[in-house]
Amino acid sequence: MATTTQPYHHGDLRNALVRAAVELLEEDGAAELSLRAAARRAGVSTAAPYRHFSDRDALLSAVAAVGYQDLAGRLTAAHPAPTTADDLAAIAIAYVQFALARPGLFRVMFAEPCDPTNPERVAATTAIHEYVKSIVQQTFPTAAPDAMADAVWALVHGLAFLHLDGKFDAISTGAVAERVRAAVHAILGASGSFAAPPAAQP
């Protein structure tokens, strides 16, 4: 894609750089992302990014925050107040589908070094953790909320990376959804939290 040469507005420089970085991730992955590359894509000098980002990790943290915010919105849209196994499965499916739809962004969020003190990143990750914790408190009222939230997140996150890394077939959207749904039902059924879904009739 050709580098844009449009002038930027000073107040929009930071957001322009973050948008440029996200575009580069979607095209080439994190390996090709740098402050210089983001500057070229945004149509600014290679020195301009340093007004807002001290180094590549700082830019990655800002990009990761965007990803966390997007993911949180998708999870809430999948089901804002889950009470059944199918509700939880819908949220898990949304999580995995996000990873498959935006693999470059997802890997930056979870597999690239980021600044743990970045306020946007901390706020975004906290929002997701609190959302998962609220689900746990509604559906597993007798469980330790933090520990169960970690367990639920680990299950879904593991499924996302297994599909993303090619360990599970991710070609068919329907097959992915069915695999994730079955895994959620299997775990919840084993825990006794929900009744297992009825067996399919022959």
Q: Is residue 13 part of a domain?
A: no
Look at the alpha carbons of 66, 119, 161, 22 in this order and tell me if their dihedral is positive or negative. Answer: positive
Domain annotation covers residue 177: yes
* Structural domain contains residue 82: yes
**Would you say the pTM of this structure is higher than 0.85?**
no
**Would you give per-residue pLDDT tens digits along the chain (202 residues)?**
444 444 444 468 999 999 999 999 988 888 888 999 999 999 999 999 999 998 998 999 999 999 998 998 999 899 888 888 888 899 999 999 999 999 999 999 988 877 778 888 888 888 888 888 888 788 778 878 888 888 888 999 999 999 999 999 999 999 999 999 999 989 877 666 554 444 444 3
- Residue 154: give its domain's CATH number: 1.10.357
Query: Looking at the domain assignment, is residue 142 inside a domain?
Result: yes
Q: Check: CB of residue 92 under 8 Å from CB of residue 75.
A: no
Number of domains composing the chain: 1
Could you tell me the two tokens for 199?
Answer: 């067996």
Of 86, 88, 101, the residue nearest 170 (C-alpha): 101
The boundaries of the domain holding residue 178 are 77-191
Asked whether residue 122 is domain-assigned, the answer is yes
Instruction: State the Cα–Cα distance between residues 137 and 132, nearest whole angstrom.
Output: 9
- CA 10 to chain centroid, in Å, comes to 29
180 belongs to a structural domain: yes
